[in-house]
Structure 1
Amino acid sequence: MSAVDIVRGLYAITDPALTPGDTLLPACETALSAGLRLLQYRNKTAPAATRLHEARTLVALCARFNATLLINDDPQLARDSGAAGVHIGQQDGGVPRARALLGPDALIGVTCHGDINLAQHAIAEGADYVAFGRFFPSHTKPQAPAAPLSVLEQARTLGVPVVAIGGVNPDNAPELLAAGADAVAVIHGVFGQPDIAAAVRRFLSLPC
């Protein structure tokens, strides 16, 4: 499948503070069972061996549900685990390095904050999708600079899928989708909820 087919609707991201230790896999399986089809593994604190084990296990879990797993910030981990690709920030080595490591078929996304110029540069280097945010107050990155809704409207012409992130919940997600986002990336809105399956289903019921 192409990035257009994969990066749409709900894009859930794990967080070790919300699903610590042995709770990660059951939480992800619950989300996938409810219909989630795009998942990002994000863990910046665990030992390398733990991260590799968890990533490989999630690759296998996603395969059971015909879902896609991406890795946050670490192209080498994406390669070692067999994930479908990586999501990188502005300080993570750039798209050419990730592409050289992961190959032509890997899915590579780039954080572009609120800057359309960063997105254009990422796409010129070969990014498959771009992400903007934060748009609302964020549990995960409360100090992140706010992005204007207008950047999503500008991004409609970029020719790759556009992801909106930052404080997204089912009540404000329609505003982002209407402005031009193809997908909404959600951490707390899925894995911080008492009923993960219900949270996923609510997001999936939104028009996109």
Structure 2
Amino acid sequence: MPLDAPAERLEASGTALADDVYALLARAILDGRLAPGERIRDVEIADLYGISRTPVREAIQRLANQGLLEIAAHRYTRVTIPDDSSRAEAIEYIGQLSGVAARLAVMRATDEELAEISELLDQIAVAAADADPRELSTLMVALFRRITHVSRNRMLIQTLREIHLPVARLLVGWTPHPDDPILRAESFVRLRDAFLARDADEAERIVREQHPLA
């Protein structure tokens, strides 16, 4: 497995140790070190990090529940292979949630939070113009997380916790509408202006426009 051995062995215990392994494996899947279809073995991970197999198995099960790993009992555990339909559904889903989150964030954000969102949108506009899909999708996920927290809606925030990893993984390399990099960058400038003007209708409209329904 293309995982780097840690400088030191993991020192946590119990649930915290399983959380650490979960985070390490999730990061490796998101950044591509564990590629789609790659098989993973709990004994190898346990040996690599100097821990027992129990927290590794717990972490693997959590990732399987979120759709990042596929477990075939007594045969293999491997990284799932996303398909086009899964990505399309994720784009639709995140677009609808993001639209609601954007509306609430515009209404409830402090001036300081609006300034932070504005700065993030400026970064996204640059990435969109540069046509860097991986950087753009990473920043888009960061934006969704930020506006969701600023929405101060506990149901949205809980949903984010549950879907963050699978959605982030499906959106790697995805570029929002429109296809033209210049027009795409302009859409994020307009979204920034809508946030700063506290125009909730316009912010929601632009976000939904960037995530068109299939």
Shorter-chain TM-score above 0.5: no
More helix by share: 2
| Structure exhibiting the larger radius of gyration computed from Cα positions | 2
More strand by share: 1
TM-score by length of 1: 0.30
TM-score by length of 2: 0.29
